[in-house]
Structure formats: C-alpha cells, structure tokens
A and B are shown apart, each in its own frame.
Chain A
Amino acid sequence: MDFLGILSSTASFILDPTTMAYALAGLGLAIHFGFAGLLNMGMAGFMALGAYGYAIGILTFGLPWYLAAFVGIGASIVFALLLGIPTLRLRGDYLAIVTIAAAEIIRLLLLTAVFADVTGSADGLTGFNGAGGTVTNPTPGAGGFNDANPIPGGEYGFEPFLDNERTWFVRIVGMLILAGATFAVWRLVHSPWGRVIKGIREDEDAVRSLGKNVFAYKMQALVIGGVLGALGGLLLAFSTNVNSSVFVTSLTFFIWTALLLGGAATVFGPLVGSVIFWTLQAFLGLVFPALAKAGLLPFSGIQAAQIRFIIVGVILVLLVIFRPQGIFGNKKELTFVK
C-alpha cells in the first residue's frame, strides 16, 4: 500500500480550487444560517448559477470572461430575490423547503435536453476558459480566463503542490476571492449590520418592534450568501468544465457538513471546516480502496470508496449531538437551551 502517495494526494486537496469553492459556499451558508438564521437548503443552486452563468455568458453571449463572471453573480442575485420575495415573510422552515425545491428546478433546467444548445444538457459545458481550455479539458479558444494568466508556462511549487501555471492561476485567484470574501464577511458580522441580522436570527419580531426593516435585512443576507455561493461556483468553472451532475442536493449537504464542522456562526469555521472535510473525504476515498486492494477489507475497491460517505454521515451525526457549535463556535452558546 502506497501510504505516502495517499497522504500526498490528500494534502493536495488543501490547495485545491474545489476546496476553496466549497469554503466560499460554506461562508455564504454561514451568513444565511449561522448569522441570519435562514435555512437555505439550496446552496447547490446558487453555485450552479454562478458556474453556468459564467460559462453561458462566454459561450452563448460571447462576453469576455470577467464580464461573464458578473453574469453568474447577477443570476444568483436574481435567484435570491425570486426566492426571498415570497418566502422571507413566512416562517424559516418554509425557506428550507422552497430553496431545496428551487435548487432542484435549476439543476433540472440545466439538465433537460430542451435547452441543450445553451446548457449542453447532460454533457455540461466545456472549453469556455480560453487558450488551452479548462484544466481538465483542454480545448483551444481565445480571450478567456486562461489567456489572462500572467504566469509563464511551466511547473511550480513542490510536492504535493507541484502544478502547472494554469492550476496555480486558479489557485491564486481562488485564494484572493476567498481572502476578500472572508474579510468582507468578518467586517459585516462585526458591524451594526451584523448585530441586526444576529438579532433577527434570535427573534425577528423583537427586532421589528425596535424599528428595523426585518424583511430588507433578511433579503440582504440572502443575496450576500447567494453571491458567495455563486463565487464558489465560479471558481469551480475557472478550474474545470461545468456539469449539472455536480450541483446536486448532496453537494448542499456536504457544504452544510463542512459548515457545522467549523462552526455555523463563525467566519473562519467554514474555511477550516471545508479544508478538513474535503481532505478527510479525499483521504478516506483513497485509503479504503487501498485497504481493499491489500485484502484487508472484504469489499471491492469501488465499494470501499463508498464507505467514506457512511463515515461522513456518522461524523455529521456525532458532531450535531456532541459539538453543535463546531470547532470555532463559542462554548458558552451551548449552555442555554433555546
């Protein structure tokens, strides 16, 4: 068993654009659920809009990549407004039901063959990142994200982070977006605005009775979280092709797990939670097949890889029971029964 190889592959996930994308979406969910108390179960929908908005902006409308990025972000804002207007006046659980359904509607619209010209249907979209195409699917093109790469061609870094200039460009852009978003969220939740949305999480009628426009605040929180989700989707699209099979409901639940692991009402929780969650996923996904291959587990390699989902499920259950505030959460918050 190549244990070092497994560790190295696992470590590469720490700087993977996918991990950063999930961290961004987790940050959005922290705004939604951790600070404003909005039960958004449709984060995958926001991410899909970010990714597809970007890809469609380039492929169908022929926009430069940076303008196409705004198409993705704009789509997520419209989506948040559409979801929020009918549901934010209702009790929180209704938002959960509506968002989970709306995210599925988005995914099915992207999957259906009716719009195959635009969405690529089940094949998804490829070759929108310009010269050299996407990292995983090199297709010639021009004027895309990859053409904006100022890094000269070649391999950089050290194992396990030894990669070519394209991957590094996505990583650096991802880290910049993540750092900017984290700083903005930190500022927001430590401001009077953050105080109001935390108050709304606790009791919106009380906040209303103090003269705050609760609906407007909830809408702002929904839009900000949604935009962060779209940025996550955008980052995925920078690094690879887009496919509707990525933006399934289980993606939403993975992000929830990462969020709860780090701490819902924290700024750095989603970051650390995402890194731990995805490296753990990657590690278990590699180590179980290796164990099966070595004859230590009575499964085939593919079956063994699925065990990690069972283990992740168990971890989520244990986490919610024994440490609901997450790694970064305030222990004091647990002292009280709500």
Chain B
Amino acid sequence: MSSSSQPTTPTKSTGLHVGEIKPGVAKKDPILVADGVRRQFGGLVAVDVEHVEIPRNAITALIGPNGAGKTTFFNLLTGFDTPNEGKWSFNGKSLAGVSAFKVARMGLIRTFQLTKALALLTVMDNMKLGSTEQPGERLGASLFPFIWKKKDDEIEAQAIEILTRFKLDTKKDDFAASLSGGQRKLLEMARALMTKPELVMLDEPMAGVNPALTQSLLDHILNLKKEGMTVLFVEHDMHMVRHIADWVIVMAEGRVVAEGAPDEVMKNPAVIDAYLGSHQDTDLGTVTGRITLPTKGKDS
C-alpha cells in the first residue's frame, strides 16, 4: 500500500467516558446527547435508543448489521425524520422539532449513504452552496451583485483551498455529474466542510471507494479531528473503524447494544454475535499488513 511510508497509527483520544463502560455510558464532554429516542414505522421499531452520548472532539464510529437503524438514527438526529418520542440535544440545545436546515445551521452537518452530489451544478457551485454566510442567497439581495460579489470571491478562495486538499481543484469547473463515485464522496465531504461544522456525521463514507482513495479519505477524517471537529460515522469496514475511531457504538435492532474503545468492543461476544460474526479475526488487519493496530505491537 502507498500508506506504508506514512505513519498509519493515528493518535487516539482516550478517557472519553465516565464510570463503567456499558451501553449509554456518560461522556466527559458530550456534544450530542440522545435520550429515549424511538422511531416506529408501523409495527417495526426502527430505532429505540435509551441513552447515548457522543464525545466531543473525537471520532466515533456507529456500527451494526444492516437494518440496525443506523441511518434512521442519523435522520432523526439531523431533523430529516421525526421520532415518535424522545429528546436529543446538540451542545446542550434541544433539537426536538427543529427542522433539518436549522440543525445544519447550528453546526451539525451530515452526508448521505447514497451520495448526493448536485449533478448538473459545477464542482465549484456545489462547494459554494456549502457556505452559510452568503448574503446573496436572500431573494432581495440577490438582485444586487455589489452586495454579494465580494463575499462570493472569499467563498471561492475558501472552496479552492478545501478542493485542493481533496485533490479536486482541477475539476472545479466540471459538472459534478462527471465525477466518479469516489470523487463524489470526496466532493460531498468537502462541501460539508464549507459550512464550518462542529459535528460531522458521515454515512458510510467509504462505501464503493477504492483502497487508495480510502486511505486519503481516512486522512481527511483524521484531519477533521485535528482541526477541532467531532466526527460520527457509520461504516462497515472494520479495519477502518479500528484504525481511526476513538469510540465505537454498536447498534442492533434499533438499540445500542455495546459501546467502548474499538478493540474492547470488538472482543465483546454480543458484538461478535450480532454483527462481526465469529470468523472475524481481530488480527486480520495485521495479517494483511495493511494496518498496525494501536494496542498491538508493531509486528507487521
């Protein structure tokens, strides 16, 4: 792998929780707290989370089998869906009844499992849409370019800076429709960063992305943490989860069944039973030489 020349072991945040580790354990500094959030679709209880807290300035992975309610939980937290009952808050402010766009304005930005690039807009226009500070987006002001032109140039400079980081700067004038699936994932993440979020929620950021691009996506996610953001992501790639997550929350059948640091959680029999399957060897990563586990010696 091309990653062999770079340090592959990121700095993990530890000591995030308070007290004994169990599902719903309190965190020292939670950014997002959900309490009794329940969503039913007819007879099916898609999400039934008693209590969960997301630690601030850390990377938290949300894992679980297909149909566990991870994406529904994402939708509920971001205002794209409304739970039947429960309360949840972001930075101490209740989000119950707050519409999706207001949640986004508060600094909680999400991406989608099925990438939503705005196909017939250019890459640059996609990026500019992410900015929340453009006065020209108001109908009245939009008619007078002198109100918004200067801000637009600033936003463009900011967009180019982020696009360069994601290696998309050469594509800035192309339609987003011309990007490959992986590039669209990158664009969606880059666009989310334009909003200057506090908490980024990524729904399967690695799905359908080739290994080399995965590596660079991982670095981007680690950078988000370095810049002071909090990341919550859904992912099925366990190597990646072990590699970058500081904390793992496991959902099954709508409930949080386990929590903890990645390596501890993956030894949990309930997790192996519900999700990983008994064949999942925790050493697989080191066997293939792809990653070095943080808690193991550098034996690869």
Contacts and interface: CB of A to CB of B under 8 A. Distances in A.
Contact of B132 (A191, A208, A211, A336): A211
Contacts of B100: 208-209
Contacts of B137: 192-193, 195-196, 212
Interface string A198-219: 1101110111111111100000
Nearest to B197: A211
A210 B191 contact: yes
Contact of A188 (B110, B121, B142): B142
Interface string A212-231: 11100000100000000000
Contacts of B139: 188, 193, 220
B120 A188 contact: no
A202 B121 contact: yes
B128 A191 contact: no
A91 interface: no
Nearest to A184: B143
B152 interface: yes
B105 interface: yes
B143 A210 contact: no
Given A191-B136, A211-B132, A198 B125 contact: yes
Interface stretch (B111-119, B245-253, B254-262, B268-276): B111-119
Nearest to A207: B129
B104 A210 contact: yes
A199 B101 CA distance: 14
A5 B177 CA distance: 50
A335 interface: yes
Instruction: Give the bracket for the number of chain A residues in contact with chain B.
Output: 20 to 34
A211 B101 contact: yes
Interface residues of B, number: 43
A214 B120 contact: no
A117 interface: no
Contact of B178 (A188, A205, A335, A338): A335
Nearest to B176: A202
A336 B120 contact: yes
A203 B188 CA distance: 12
B104 A192 contact: no
B145 interface: yes
Contact of B120 (A194, A198, A220): A198
Interface string B120-155: 110001101110101011110111010010001000
Contacts of B80: 205, 208-209
A213 B112 CA distance: 18
A191 B142 contact: yes
Interface centre among B104, B148, B195 (most CB of A within 10 A): B104
B152 A198 contact: no
A207 B80 CA distance: 12
A336 B175 contact: yes
Nearest to B103: A211
A205 B188 CA distance: 13
A2 interface: no
17 contacts: A188-B142, A191-B143, A192-B142, A195-B121, A198-B118, A202-B119, A202-B121, A205-B116, A208-B80, A209-B112, A209-B192, A211-B105, A211-B195, A212-B129, A213-B101, A220-B139, A336-B175
Given A195-B128, A210-B129, A336-B177, 19 more contacts: A187-B143, A192-B128, A194-B142, A195-B125, A199-B129, A202-B121, A205-B112, A206-B117, A207-B129, A209-B111, A210-B130, A210-B194, A211-B101, A211-B104, A212-B137, A333-B175, A336-B119, A336-B175, A338-B119
- Interface pairs A-B: 9 shortest CB-CB: A193-B142, A211-B104, A191-B142, A206-B116, A192-B136, A336-B177, A202-B118, A211-B105, A192-B137
